[in-house]
Amino acid sequence: MEKLIVKGPTPLKGEVTISGAKNAAVAILPATLLIDGVCTIENLPNISDIEISCTILERLGAKITRNSTNSITVDTRNITTTVAPIDLTSKFRASYYIIGAMLGRMGEIEVGMPGGCKLGARPIDQHIKGFELLGANVSVEKGKIYAKAKKLKGAPIYMDIVSVGATINIMLSAVLAKGTTIIDNAAKEPHIVDVANFLNTMGADIRGAGTDVIKINGVDKLSGNATYSVVPDQIEAGTFMLAAVATKGDLLIKNCITKHLESVTAKILEIGGNVEEYDDSIHVWCDTRPTKAIVKTLPYPGFPTDLQPQIGVVLSVADGTSIINESIWESRFQYTAELNKMGANITAQGKSAVFEGVDFLSGAPVYATDLRAGAALIIAGIIANGETELYNLDHIDRGYECIEEKFRKLGANIKRVVEE
């Protein structure tokens, strides 16, 4: 079993370069299945979810050439099966994008229920509703999803709730459908825009991504023969921004899109941090104890749920009593029990948590309860007195490229070891 050993407290200082966006890449890779041709994808994050995605594509018949650590060429001209490998699709949530892509390309798919972080109820009813409105028959039996359509036809689709996954999945299934599809009450996250940009680069006709109404005019085929670079990771950038504040550090965060980080910037300024924005980088520093705050997670452009545990660490040592209201995932607060082991004073109930700021955290053995909680606990270990041992690293490796190396270059005392 691997674990991270973190010794603190240490202020982080220096420069860090942000990798490609996980949430965009795990949708763009299945989207290649819609292409009757070859494409090259660059700025892919080197994380386990991407490796699994590539293996799924290969098992479906795609040929993948690994050009470098962060670049691949995908040839999807010869898809040989409509049965996705259940042993792999169960490993992460975004495997459900295979459904929309394969419905669009092959008109049929059998896939296991998606896995991923245990953040509470994560239904896919909005996905299924969209597929059915486009003309597919969908059934869920014995842990598998079966979807089939003779020919998908464009349709108006109103989303009952704002869902990033359903917005992307319906977009994938509608690209090759006959006629026009309009997704109303669509999610607006940056990675939705990135997936639409990728598809348009390959020959699709998608308009309005990034707004709450997306219009997809179906095309006959996507020919590919193009190169696309994945957008920088908004959540990784936000993680390092909050790490700078938590550790009273000084970081220049490079290769990021500052527009995507406005809600994080606003909250950092509110609690006493400093932020300077440049064209493709952001400078964050803090030399005082953060002040209390009220945070509510919301769909983009609101404060991201994927940065809630990280700001939770900041508020655990802030001056005063803070409150976080979680509006997306009801089990997002599992990490607070781990922070309390380190001396935090957090009371979590349902979708809210009260953070009574303490003077300091102390090192302790803790467990990453999900991907973002793992990143938050690394930050907690960096600011804590003494040694922290962090377990369940599989969660972290799903979404952060070389995370301990990046923190180490910023001055953190962190190492990965194999426990006998």
- Of 46-55, 107-116, 340-349, the range with the lowest mean pLDDT is 107-116
CATH of the domain at 179: 3.65.10.10
Burial class of 78 by CB neighbour count within 10 A (0 to 12, 13 to 18, 19+): exposed
Structure tokens at 132: 């059915």
Mean pLDDT of 192-200: 98
What is the rounded CA–CA span in Å between residue 74 and residue 62? Answer: 7
Claim to verify: residue 223 and residue 259 sit in the same structural domain: no
Mean pLDDT of 237-241: 98
Claim to verify: residue 127 and residue 216 sit in the same structural domain: yes
Mean pLDDT of 413-418: 96
What is the rounded CA–CA span in Å between residue 324 and residue 344? Answer: 15
Residue span of the structural domain in which 160 resides: 22-229
Give the pTM: 0.96
Report which residue type is found at 332: R
Residue 375 confidence (pLDDT): 98
Burial class of 362 by CB neighbour count within 10 A (0 to 12, 13 to 18, 19+): middle
- Encode pLDDT of 327-360 as tens digits: 998 889 999 999 999 999 999 999 999 999 999 9
Mean pLDDT of 211-232: 97
Structure tokens at 104: 């669009």
Claim to verify: residue 26 and residue 50 sit in the same structural domain: yes
Confidence tier at 39 by pLDDT (50, 70, 90): very high
> Contact 218/240 with Cβ under 8 angstroms?
no
The domain boundary, picked from 186, 203, 229, lies at 229
Claim to verify: residue 31 and residue 170 sit in the same structural domain: yes
Claim to verify: residue 236 and residue 341 sit in the same structural domain: yes
What is the rounded CA–CA span in Å between residue 5 and residue 140? Answer: 43
Claim to verify: residue 307 and residue 166 sit in the same structural domain: no
The domain boundary, picked from 229, 263, 297, lies at 229
Mean pLDDT of 174-200: 98
Is pLDDT at 150 greater than 80 in this prediction? yes
Burial class of 71 by CB neighbour count within 10 A (0 to 12, 13 to 18, 19+): middle
The number of residues making up the chain comes to 420
Confidence tier at 385 by pLDDT (50, 70, 90): very high
Does 54 qualify as catalytic in the annotation? no
> What total of structural domains would you count in the chain?
2
Residue 86 confidence (pLDDT): 87
- Of residues 39, 117, 256, 286, which has the active-site annotation? 117
Claim to verify: residue 322 and residue 206 sit in the same structural domain: no
Is pLDDT at 115 greater than 70 in this prediction? no
